[in-house]
Structures are given as C-alpha cells and as structure tokens.
Chains A and B, each alone.
Chain A
Amino acid sequence: MTARLRNAATPVDTSRHLLSVGDLDRDQIAELLDLTDTFVEVGQRSIPKVPALRGRTVVSLFFEDSTRTRLSFDTAAKRLSADTMSFGVSSSSVNKGESVRDTIETIEAMGIDAVIVRHSSSGVPAQIARWTDAVVVNAGDGWHQHPTQALLDAYTARSHLGDLEGRSIAIVGDVKHSRVARSNIEMFTALGAHVTLVAPPTLLPPDTTAWDVSVSHELDPVLPRIDVCYLLRMQSERMTEALIPTLREYTAGFGLTSERADRLGAEALIMHPGPMNRGVEIASEVAERPNAVITEQVANGVAVRMAVLFLLLGSGRHLTQVHEEAS
C-alpha cells in the first residue's frame, strides 16, 4: 500500500512504533527497563557511544517547544551512532502553510528510519504513523501521552525502590492538562503500583474511573504513606482559565514545601518531569534534597530513549515477528 492511499481508517501497527504507554504490556515494559541498564552503562564509558545504529537516520519533528526532550532524543540517537536531523517549526515550511502530511512525506523522501514527534494536538504521532514507513516515537502529543517520560520515570523509581509492585505513588498537580500524568498513571498501574492523584477538583479530569487510581483533594494526609511523590509542573498559562485562584494558594495547598517534605518517609523519592517552577509546586530547597532524583531522571532519559530507539530500529524485533508469522 502506498502512503498516499492510507487514510485515517488504516489501523496503526503499534508494535512498530512507540505511541502510547497503553500499547505496552507489563513484559514489554520490563524488557525495555532491563535493556535500559545496558545503555546506562554505555553512558558511563569514557567514549559513551556504540555503533549499533550506524547508517540509520533519526529525525526530530517538533511542532511544539522543547529543550530537554529534544536534546535527550538527539543525544540518545547520537550515542547509538545514528545520523540525526532536526526540524523546528519556527524555521520550517510549516510557517509557509505546509501541512503535517506534506511535511512528513517530504522528509520521508530524503530517506529516514525513525521520526520523533511532538505536537500540541493529541493523536498527531499516531496519524503520522499511518503516513510513513518510518518508526514513529511519540515525544509528547497534546494532553494525551509522553511514553518515554513515563519509561524514564519508572526506570528511575525502580532503580531506587526495586519492583514497583504494591508501592504507593502520588501524582500531584495539574493532572487534567498533563500528558505526563496520563502516561505515568498507565505506566505505574501497569507495574502494579497504587497511584493516588492529588489535586484540586478543577485540575482533575471530570472522570477518573477509567483508571485504577484513588483521588485525594488534599496533599497532607497522603504524604506519610507514599514511596514516590511525583510533582507535575504547574502550568502558569492555566491561570488565565481561572482553575485556581492564585499560584500562591496552589502552593499553600499542594506545593511540596520544606515542612511537607519532612513528613515524607525517609526512603520516599521526590520526582518532577521538569521544567520546575521553584517556589510553586516544589520549594527550591526540597529540589536539592538527596531523595529528590530530578537530575537523575534527566540522565536516565537518555538511556531509556537509547533503549527505545535500539529496540525499534536495531534489535530486529519486527524480524522476529516476521519469522513467527512465516512459520
């Protein structure tokens, strides 16, 4: 089937891409996290580079601003010896009115193996997966998903706590508008952890019954019994929607202040996907504590993305499937 004939009704082969945490089962998640160990070790070498993806081309297609995710994917691809191309909307023909479809087909014509996509609308990476033969990795779409963030968070938590089965994890803040929250809820529950969403009602989705989570509108009672306090970024642009009275009021109720951090268990981890609003969702001093693993999350991000790119591009995983189908 040529790309032009594909339309929205064409099913996406989710095993070839990484679009959503929901496409992964527990074994696949475990395999990715185990594989990440290998790439953490590669990152610690004096020459942190392996020739695994020589000759492959990876394109970052970012329709939305990002520093850490784009740099992290870029570093991951380079450490695997892949060639990288970068595409920023501000400097591209999208500004001249080129459609996403024409953009992806133009880039594909240059010969690419993987596209890393970020877009402000949910579902764009899945749509691109219908239009291209390249592997598509979702680097964040709208409020929907950010699967590599969830993988690196699970990896970071697991490296400190071991198996997450039965562990208690609080996700605190603007769950409603957060793709990180959606991905992490699916990730942590898939790994057997108990997830509690902590937010004022205005920052929660109207219905959370589809998830196996508990909900609390107060942070204080939750603190002593959790193993991970996962803080979401308070998006100040939400202030215009009048969902919370003021940022100061949010901090008073839901910010991880020094006093609140003291009430966490001694082993409890403090995590944040960045960029942090110091003094809003997290006190500046708390972010520097030894159990705050925020910079570790960033470091593990590169290794997790190497594991994802290698698994999708280099491991020949689809070859296994081809052989299985043939036999």
Chain B
Amino acid sequence: MASQCAEIAGRVNAELRRMVDAGCSFADARYFDESSSEFLLLYDGNLEGNGAEWERGIGVRVLYHGAWGFAATANLDAIPACFDRALANGRAAAMLPGCPRDMGAARPVTGSYRPSVVRDPFGVPLRDKLALMQCLDAELQAPHVEHRFVYIHTQRCRVFYWNSEGTEIDRLHIHPFGYLRVMATDAEGCAQRRSHELSGNGQGTRGFEWLADGDEFGNHAERLKSELADILAAAEALTPGRRSVILLPAQGWIQAHETIGHALELDRILGYERSYMGASHVKPWMIGTLQYGSEKLNCRAGVIPNSAGTFGYDDEGSPQQDIPLIEKGLLVNVLSSRADLAEVNAAAGRTVVTEAGNAARACAFYRSPIDRMTNVNIDPGEDGTLEDIIASTEDGIILDKYSSWSIGPNREHFHFACELAWEVKDGARARVLKNPSYQGHTLEFWHALDMVGDERTWRVEQTSDCGKGEPNQAIQVAHGVPVMRFHNVETGEMR
C-alpha cells in the first residue's frame, strides 16, 4: 500500500473492525485519493470545453443483518462519523428485510492494478493536446462540412480499497476517450452527421499515445468527410421493410451493450433497477436454460489488456476474470457481485450462479457499488471478413454508428437509428442510404444472428458514461465485437 495512504489505511481498518464488532457481517471502504477528469472540446474550431475536475473522498459500506448501509464524505477527519452514518443506514435498511445479502466465504486479497501506459495523459502539456486537436480540426474541414467536433476526455483515478476480510487493493485507472464528428444539412433540411470514437483491438497501451495513434483516431477524418458527402448525395432514405442487417462494431457494441450487457446485470434480474432504468426480461431460473440467441452467439465478460472495462479488481476487491456469459447461444452466467448470489439461487430454486462475477463497480467515492458491465464481448466467429459477409448477402444493409437508441423497459425490445447505411444487393455493397433505423425484440434478434466475422473484424469500442443506478452513476465500459449479420430484421420508418 502506498506510504501516503498508510495513515488513512490504519484509521479505516480500525473502523472496519469497529463495524464488525457492531454486528456487521461485512464492511468496506473505497478511498479515492484522486479522481481527475479533463475535457477538451473544439467545436467549429472554438475551444468550447476547456477544463478539468478533481475529486477526493471516501465512501464506506456496511452489511448489517443482510442490508447495505452506505455513506460518503470528503472530510477525511470525519471517517469515524462516516462509518457511523453507514451503520445507521444499514440498521434502518434492515428494518424491512428480504432475502439477506450475504458475501459468502471470506476471500481476502492483496493486490494492485496498473494499466499499461506510455504517456500519462495528465502529464502531457495542455498545448500538445490542443495542438493535436487543432490539427484534427483542420483535417475535418471541407466545403460540405458545416460543423466539426473534436473531443478529448481523459480520466485518471487512484483508488484504495479495504474490507473487513483483510483485503487491500490499490488501483490506478487511466482512460482516454476521443471523438471526431462532422455535420451538415441535406437537401431536405435534415441534419446528417458522421462520427468516429477512439477504439482499438484491445492490445497496446492506453496513454496519450493511443489518442495520437492516427490509425485508431485521427486518420479517420478523411473517411468521415467522404462518408458525410455520400450521405448528403444520397437521394433516398432507407425504405421500411424486413431485410438482413450487417452491424459494424461501432454499432454492434451498443446492440450488445443494451440488449445483452444490461439485461444480464444481476441487480436488474432481481428487480432492483425496475423503478429507474428498468429490470430485465431474464429471470433467475432462466440462467443455464435460456437459449438467448443462435449458436453463432458467444459472449463473455472478458479481460482485455487495453480497455475501459478492465480494472484488475472490482469494487469489492474481487479479481477480474474471464467469465463466459453465453455459449453457443445458451445463457450460462450473468454479471454479478458477491452479495446477491444467495438471492438469485433462492429465486431460481436451484444453484444457477456458483461464483460472483467480479462486476461490483462504483463510479466515485460518493456512490455505492452496483452490478455493472465490464468488458461484455462478443467472440469472433468463423465467417471471415466484412467483405466475405457482404458477398454472401442477397438483400441487406450495412449499419454503422448509432445516432439514437431506445430500449424497452425490460431490455426486451429496442429501436436504433444509425448515421448511415450501405445497401447490399446480390453480394455487393451498393448505394448509401440515409436516416436508417431498425428495431426488434431482443431474443428474436439474437436468434437471427447468422454470420459472425472472424478476429480480423473484432474491435473494442468504449464509452465513458454508461448510466445506471440510484443515486445515478456513469461508468466506463467497453465491448469487443466482430462484424455481425442478422436476418429478417425490421428496418426503416413508416413516414
């Protein structure tokens, strides 16, 4: 444990013991020594976002008679009082008990996590970042481009974790996010856009060098301009009808995120998110028996070296592991934390989850951990490249990058609009169609998965702000996804 935190560690560990003595079966603390975020937005060449955030504080949690109490403070002189508040909250929560939360057998761990980084983004002079952004902004300029976005958002977070089982974890997280966008108005007066976000293949390092890597970020400027011109020149919007859709990774990730990832979060399955962002169509007894999709569908909560969803240890101190979620279309596991396993197994009437899924995550010192996505990945398949998939498609569209997303209350149905579509006719990519959209029902859709691209098509896409939970939390997640084809999908809008 770093020396500068030894004093805090000593005080926290004394409080953890005090909580156990007070009747808590478990207690933990997350001290965010530094949580920094820098945001730079160049909009039409004007620096409209130019600043940073910095946070420090501690959040503590106690499990009292099977119910959680949580409290947070930025006042490090008031740590005992913070524990007292958490205990009082836990005692209150235990007034209306249900299936008691239980952490299971103690699993003390000591460890640390550091991402692989060459240049810490927070060590790079601001002028160097702005120079990169201005260079990219210049590359986005063209007569047909009306508006340009260059956005860089970096995060660095140092978290120390202790629990009453003796676990001590020291984590450092560094996250670079980048965004390019061009916009223009088409002949019908409809706003059109084309975007690219920093993404990769899951390898390499995740410092400023990733943002500076042209192949992953900046070199896409020319493509975006060209494709925006194609959209503006497109005479027609996508006509409604059923056809095959081929999702590129920049669209496929959010499909997986919304209709697999969120649906498999155990707290949703147990109904805890119902009053806010919705529960899940998956019920406890379906784990191990539900055919979620076609046999082409293999999905896992994976560990990826370079990913926003990689964190080493979750916010209960559990080491991050590779966990299969769906195998040949069969649902085999869910995204879980330690405390809810007894409840899900009781609800299922049999043991459906044997080990916690190291998916407890808190976005800040003032938020309690909840069940979260990590890297929810779709495994590559054996159907070749994008070109191979196009060649085997008679009537379809290729879709890239969402512009709107709307999901049913229990993740059972969805609607996406995308930035553009390419028509596919008789095995060849044809014209560009604008204003594309598609909708469907989750299980029917994943059963319609009939081609999955190989590892050459697999990309890791990421987001900084997956929202969930009450109080609300926005967290970083990532998804490695290949090109995927689905047959007989409802596309387009009746107008």
A, B bound: no
Chain A residues with CB under 8 Å of chain B are none
